[in-house]
Structure 1
Amino acid sequence: MTAVRTACYHCGETCNNHAIALDSKIFCCDGCKLVYEMLHEHGLCEYYQLNDKPGVSQRMQVRRDKYAFLEDAQIRQQLVQFRDDTQTHITFYIPHIHCSSCLWLLENLHRLDAGVQRSTVNFARKEVQVVFLQAQTSLRKVVELLAAVGYEPYISLQDLQHKKRPGVNRSLVYQLGVAGFCFGNIMLLSFPEYFSGPEGMDTVLFRYLNLLLSLPVFFYSAQVFFRSAWKGITHGFLNIDVPVALAIGVTFVRSLVDVLSAGGPGYFDAMTGIVFLMLAGRILQEKTYQGLSFDRDYTAYFPVAVTVINEEQETPVALPDIRTGQTLRIHHNELIPADGILVKGEALIDYSFVTGESAPVRRSIGEIIYAGGWQLEGNIEVLTIKEVAQSYLTSLWNRQELQQAEDKPASFIHLLGRNFTAVVLLVAIVTAAWWAFYNPARIWPSVTAILIVACPCALLLAASFTNGHILRILSRHRLYLRNAAAIERLADTDHIVFDKTGTLTGKHSAEVVFYGQPLRAAERLQVAALAAQSTHPLSRMVRAYCGESTLPVTDFASHTGKGISGKVQGNSIQLGDAAFTGAGADGDFTGSVVYLAVNGQVRGRFSVRNGYRAGIRQLFGQLRERYALSLLSGDHNGEAATLQELMGPGATLRFSQQPQDKLDYVLQLQAKGQRLLMIGDGLNDAGALKQSHTGLSLTEDSNNFTPASDGILEAGQLLLLPRFIQLCRANKRIILASFIISLAYNITGLFFAVQGALSPLTAAILMPSSSISIILLTWGLSEWAGRKLRQPLPLMADKDQLPG
């Protein structure tokens, strides 16, 4: 027998059950059919013409009362951005936005609900801003409409606290615009001076116009450098902005004196040009990571509200209002928000994101359940014993011993800048002493000229443009670093620490092995048809193993916490635990086990284990030659031998690690002077990620929740880790090379400056040419260094595909 694959017209997924037909179109489930009917009724079927299979599967229907909490006035008020007597403005984060069809449909919400006045999509940030009239619709109806058409908003507790992802620093953009306008006009007005025309009323007028144009640059655009320099001085540290601010200030004062005393045109063109270029470099850096959030906490993971049972009545209550002693109803596939005791139902909980243990755990009535787990089967009721803010999950972020970001080592750029400043001041003092002895009248022009021409602007530009370009190259390959300082710390790595579950193993790389009487092809399709009826993760893995099947299933029944059963082509099939299928006592197996019984006879068991990501052997083969390696896993040590062989005999492996154990291990290594790169994906890694020299959160999707870290790395790019570190090391070499080249310009300028003979034309040539050449050089070298990331990885041999 062969199964014919039929794709759903709405979402494109395979129709495993009875094909649902409507208007000569096939749908995989009633949910997808209902979405099509809704769009068809309102004349929105153009949605399907813009992209092939643009929809999201609706097999998992949204619970009817899931958004009842939006009727609470206090919760509504905290979510909306603006509200008056007639309309409400609100912005939703919608992870499912992925193509032009999504954008088109979301911007046509008004055709589905007359109360919606306007909906605007920010495609890059996966957000939609909706404006609706309270008299015609409500916030709950708008959210339920979005969920009904397959674009369910992600509303978390963080939204109540107005913790938004970082946006564009508009003040820098305005400062850049002002500096660019003034710089261009000053250059234009300085042409008579450049060509040594006769000094007359026009030339004097142009000098005063240049002075006026320089005022907004000095008092507005350059303030970012003055504030940074002052902050460094107050903390007893000469950062790179101190000599820059000094040079800008001296250039402005010297130019002001020259113009007012009719001693010359000043150096306004050089000053405004440098401010403009340095601001451009800063904006380039910020532009790379403005859309990602690296400081997420548990509130981005928790729902806004949960159902509370009070005298047999269900009431949605906001999470901050949950108190001990209340009974919570946790629905299927919902997160447990507070520690409590199970009082009703049988729990099957996925704690992988909290503890690192990959296998779901069962809990019976009377046992304690901790916050942060996902209930996988049916509904349960939990009696809270701790409030949300005091739960085990939230404590992962509240450890006082974590090192703060400001305690991390200072950038080598600031150290170079400090030494550079000392040398420049020494040269200025020596020059002043020399002229004080020979010609005191030359002290002012020579000393000010030295401070003008010896500005470390080229070093700052080299750092800004190189860091910004490297950040862009890394982001193109889906490594998103928090800031430029993370590049330096990543380059200094000498010890790499890995989490196992979700890091070395992937969500989509599970391995299924069947042990027992071999199944015929027809039987495999029958088992696949039954497994397709369940949304349980283990059922989906069994279905994937057995293949696609469209065979009809009758008498289907789901037994919460035990398994599923049904009839396929006359055979009674059961999938579940040992007791449910009659297999007897469950043995001690690695990973999860699903037993199979056909017509009352046990045929065997499916062993389901997470699989390692492809290419892991090659990755460790490269890393263990250059770095010390460690593994910290919340899982048991059943795979210790395999991992030791992969990571090398010198690697340290620690299993059954709690979050505090991981943090303690990182602190121990840091006490020995080691510079750690920690790579993890779950809340159990949050403390270690934050404490490490560099912490990278691995994610299957950069829009999903990840713990606080220095960077976010998409899982498919993990094999590029050695190349990422190599590129970060090249970043430092490029900046140093640019600095050395810029010294040639500084030495040339100092030759004129110490003599007090630095003309505005010389400064106008040297300083911009130095800056522009540094920009071009850093861009070219950065692209050359990043070429290896574009090279394809070697094909993996079969032996690299390892079971987990």
Structure 2
Amino acid sequence: MTNMTCYHCGDDCGRDHVHFDDKDFCCHGCKTVYEIFTSNGLSNFYEIETKAGISPKEVRSKYDFLDNQEIVDKLTEFNEEGVQVINLSIPSIHCSSCIWVLENLNKLHPSISNSQVDFPKKTLRVTYSSTDFSLKGLVLMLSSIGYEPYISLDEYDKKDKKIDRSLIYKLGVAGFAFGNVMLLSFPEYFEVEEFWLEQYKPVFRWLMFAFSLPVVFYASQDYFKAAFKGLKSKLLNIDVPIALGILTLFLRSTADIAFDLGSGFFDSLTGLVFFLLLGKFFQQRTYAFLSFERDYKSYFPIAVTRLNPDKSEENIQIYKVKVGDRLLIRSNEIIPVDCVLIKGSAEIDYSFVTGESQAVFKENGEKLYAGGKQLSGLLVVEVLKSVSQSYLTQLWGNLVFSKDKASTFRTLTDSIGKRFTAGVLTIATISTLFWLFYEPSMALNVFTAVLIIACPCAIALAAPFTLGNMLRIFGRHKLYLKNTNVIERLAKIDTAIFDKTGTLTTTKKDTIIYEGVELTPEETILLKTTLRASNHPLSRSLYDILKANEIATLDEFEEHTGKGVVGKLDSHTIKAGSSVYVGEGVSGDSIAETAVYISSNDAFKGRFVFKNSYREGVSNIFKALGKSMQIGILSGDNDGERKQLQELLPVRTQMHFNQKPEDKLNHIQRLQREHKVMMVGDGLNDAGALAQSDVGIAVSEDINVFSPACDGILDASQFDDLPLFMELSRKSIQVIKMSFVLSLCYNVVGIYFAVTGQLQPVIAAILMPLSSISIVLFTTLMTNALGRKISMKKGTIDSFSTS
């Protein structure tokens, strides 16, 4: 079959190739989207960016829960007088074409009055008339054009949570006050002695005082709170000297204008707070749209289908499921509770829970656990435990998920802040004692001057701007970290532990090896035709690699769930499936291998063995990391690929297989007694280990879909850059230390003026903003220089020296 790309989405056209309107499509879904667009005046979609569409998925009854009005009321932001407003997460938004289509939804349905895309957050806000349209209709329409919304139990719970915009308000207040105070201070800087200055000088000064009030008592309140908590806990954090400096600046400046001693330091005060808040804002805004706190709620459906005693079906909220209820589980749906199988053939994918990549087959009467996905067919199950008591929920009940790593980790800024605070207070005390004996009238001025000029604004800015910019650079190269604290922890890692399935291996492709008697061309055609009718994952993978120039029409086809498939053409029969199914028996079957056995006319021919395909550069990653740290493997899979891993890993690497989630968590805990541990995983089965580790990195084929609670999300395409990211983290800490040295130079100069009693407002007005601005510029230039090393790839990082 000739390979061609889909006109709509650009994917390869495989066996479901559709030709329509002189164009090729990979499936009927893409063809349908094309028809919708062209018939509704949206054909410009393909002119903006070719092949930018998204291949739609089959939705069917997946969103029946949106018929439940109670759920709709909870999800919608506004629902009054026939008008509803909904904010939906659309993970597949990726380009300008997506924005154009989604903001022209009114052309697809007249009930939609407005639709607006927030591209960074990948959300769509839609206003529509609910009299002749519904939320379910909207979701199905979006899915039909390839933009299926992401609606989870977690999103359902978040609707009542308010967004905290307090930092934006505080930054705005500080910026407004800073600009006005600087403007009012200019006459004082240039010592203008004209009549208007002398006449209006008190007015200018008291205006500056007025502008400083909201800065001190509102914009900077977080620093006072943090300083108070630090002192209460007997800790001298960096917020103590900042709060002390702000308070001293305000009190000293107020006294100066009240007793006509000068204009005070209101410009330095407002500027200090503004730059500090700017650094915090810059840090907070960097990739804030990614969710790092995902748990089972992000994975579970909002509602399920319950079978009532009268055999009617009802969509109910998942929290209303009770023990004894009977639920309907459709193909590709998540099992939300621990239950027992009543009817149907269960083929369960537990990879997100256990890490085992091979599907598990269950018969009637057997127990099913929450978190598994039914791969094919319809199931009827009876609930054994409610959602809150199920296995997966209990896994999340572990105390490790409630701990805050950032609160227990002592940052470089806090470590230096303790020494800095002690040093400043010592200098201020000694200087004051000296002036009490030499010139008592100068003592108070010297004491306050030291506290003012030594305020660690530059030190406080160094880490937020350095690490904040590194967050942005990492994000640009598809490593998305939770916060700047993670970079500091990453720099201290000395042990790296990896999950295997989905982390070291890719889900995009399998390595398939044939063992046995070579198939004839006729057998290959018949096998490929038989596999074409099967939807089993192994059948589809095997179909894609088989070479055949033609597809025949079968006389007979049967698929036996959990066993295999059989196809007949004329007098020739071919079977594909388990060893028992094709008649080879259990002797040739190895539980450590995934294989599809083949027989032709009941004569065994051979088997296709499926090997995990490891990501490109895995060997190089281990080689680079092995130079500076210990490496280990924790896998939920069996040890069938131990030998293959031994060839990739450094000698003496510890490998542990058949690990349950709690086993992984406990192993990380044991290592942490002596080491700083990074865990790299991908699924729910790794969630406990990711949360327990000093740094947890989730590897994802798509950063917008489900990933477990973690400190960072690494796009799988950049997996081979992991050693480089870790090296850059260590270099970032060096940049911060250099910034501290630069800041110390400013403080030495400033303290000289303060201790000798020569500190004037104009000196403070020059030194304090200058130190802040130069630190910001220095850290930005240095981190950008580091960022360029990612583009230069591996092997070049060592050529950069920050010394």
Taking structure 2 as the reference length, the TM-score comes to: 0.93
d(CA) in 1 for partners of 2:753, 2:478: 48
Match of 1:170 in 2: 165
Match of 2:799 in 1: none
Report the Cα offset of residue 371 of structure 1: 1.1
* CA deviation string 1:35-73 (max 9, x = no partner): 333333323333333332333334x5222x322221112
Report the Cα offset of residue 521 of structure 1: 6.1
Report the Cα offset of residue 176 of structure 1: 2.0
| Residues 644-793 of structure 1 mapped to structure 2, 5 A cutoff | 644-671=646-673, 673-793=674-794
* CA deviation string 1:622-648 (max 9, x = no partner): 112211122111111222233234333
Match of 2:364 in 1: 365
8 Å CA contact 1:553–1:566 kept in 2: the answer is no
Match of 1:152 in 2: 148
d(CA) in 1 for partners of 2:13, 2:256: 81
AA paired with 1:466?
Answer: T
CA change 1:583–1:33 in 2 (3 A) is: farther
* CA deviation string 1:74-106 (max 9, x = no partner): 111221111112211111112222233322222
Unaligned runs of 5+ in 2: 797-803
For the residue of structure 2 that corresponds to 1:653, the secondary structure is strand
d(CA) in 1 for partners of 2:547, 2:215: 68
* CA deviation string 1:199-242 (max 9, x = no partner): 62244433233222222322222223223222323333222111
Match of 2:177 in 1: 182
d(CA) in 2 for partners of 1:278, 1:569: 80
Report the Cα offset of residue 132 of structure 1: 1.4
Report the Cα offset of residue 285 of structure 1: 0.7
Deviates more, 1:543-552 or 1:91-100: 543-552
| Residues 235-254 of structure 1 mapped to structure 2, 5 A cutoff | 235-254=233-252
AA paired with 2:276?
Answer: M
CA change 1:190–1:19 in 2 (3 A) is: closer
Report the Cα offset of residue 763 of structure 1: 0.9
8 Å CA contact 2:74–2:159 kept in 1: the answer is no
Unaligned runs of 5+ in 1: 796-804
**Greater RCO between the two (CA within 8 Å, min separation 6)?**
1
Is 2:210 the partner of 1:208?
no
For the residue of structure 1 that corresponds to 2:399, the secondary structure is coil
* CA deviation string 1:539-561 (max 9, x = no partner): 22112322586735445554433
For the residue of structure 2 that corresponds to 1:245, the secondary structure is helix
d(CA) in 2 for partners of 1:775, 1:303: 46
* CA deviation string 1:323-376 (max 9, x = no partner): 111222211111111111122122111111111112112112222111111111
d(CA) in 2 for partners of 1:310, 1:550: 49
Is 2:355 the partner of 1:356?
yes
8 Å CA contact 1:436–1:443 kept in 2: the answer is yes
8 Å CA contact 1:17–1:550 kept in 2: the answer is no
Is 2:52 the partner of 1:54?
yes
8 Å CA contact 2:523–2:574 kept in 1: the answer is no
d(CA) in 2 for partners of 1:165, 1:728: 33
8 Å CA contact 1:16–1:548 kept in 2: the answer is no
For the residue of structure 1 that corresponds to 2:245, the secondary structure is helix
CA change 1:741–1:98 in 2 (3 A) is: closer
d(CA) in 2 for partners of 1:55, 1:558: 34
* CA deviation string 1:448-478 (max 9, x = no partner): 1000001111101111111111111111111
| Counterpart among 90, 97, 104 of residue 101 in structure 1 | 97
CA change 1:599–1:112 in 2 (3 A) is: farther
CA-based RMSD:
2.4
Report the Cα offset of residue 305 of structure 1: 1.5
Report the Cα offset of residue 663 of structure 1: 1.3
Is 2:131 the partner of 1:129?
no
d(CA) in 2 for partners of 1:472, 1:570: 64
d(CA) in 1 for partners of 2:278, 2:553: 64
CA change 1:774–1:32 in 2 (3 A) is: closer
8 Å CA contact 1:305–1:317 kept in 2: the answer is yes
8 Å CA contact 2:526–2:567 kept in 1: the answer is no
d(CA) in 2 for partners of 1:224, 1:567: 75
For the residue of structure 1 that corresponds to 2:158, the secondary structure is coil
CA change 1:388–1:487 in 2 (3 A) is: same
CA change 1:237–1:163 in 2 (3 A) is: farther
* CA deviation string 1:395-447 (max 9, x = no partner): 12101366711652221211211211111111111112112222221112111
CA change 1:552–1:448 in 2 (3 A) is: farther
Report the Cα offset of residue 25 of structure 1: 3.1
| Counterpart among 600, 607, 610 of residue 608 in structure 1 | 610
Match of 2:444 in 1: 444
8 Å CA contact 1:529–1:568 kept in 2: the answer is no
For the residue of structure 1 that corresponds to 2:714, the secondary structure is strand
Match of 1:463 in 2: 463
AA paired with 2:119?
Answer: F
AA paired with 1:67?
Answer: Y
* CA deviation string 1:242-296 (max 9, x = no partner): 1111101101111111111111111111111111111111111111131111111
For the residue of structure 2 that corresponds to 1:513, the secondary structure is strand
For the residue of structure 2 that corresponds to 1:282, the secondary structure is helix
Deviates more, 1:648-657 or 1:566-575: 566-575
Is 2:617 the partner of 1:622?
no
d(CA) in 2 for partners of 1:459, 1:390: 48
d(CA) in 1 for partners of 2:161, 2:604: 53
AA paired with 1:780?
Answer: L
d(CA) in 2 for partners of 1:16, 1:777: 53
* Percent of matched pairs sharing the same residue: 44
CA change 1:567–1:61 in 2 (3 A) is: farther
Match of 2:422 in 1: 422
d(CA) in 2 for partners of 1:547, 1:203: 90
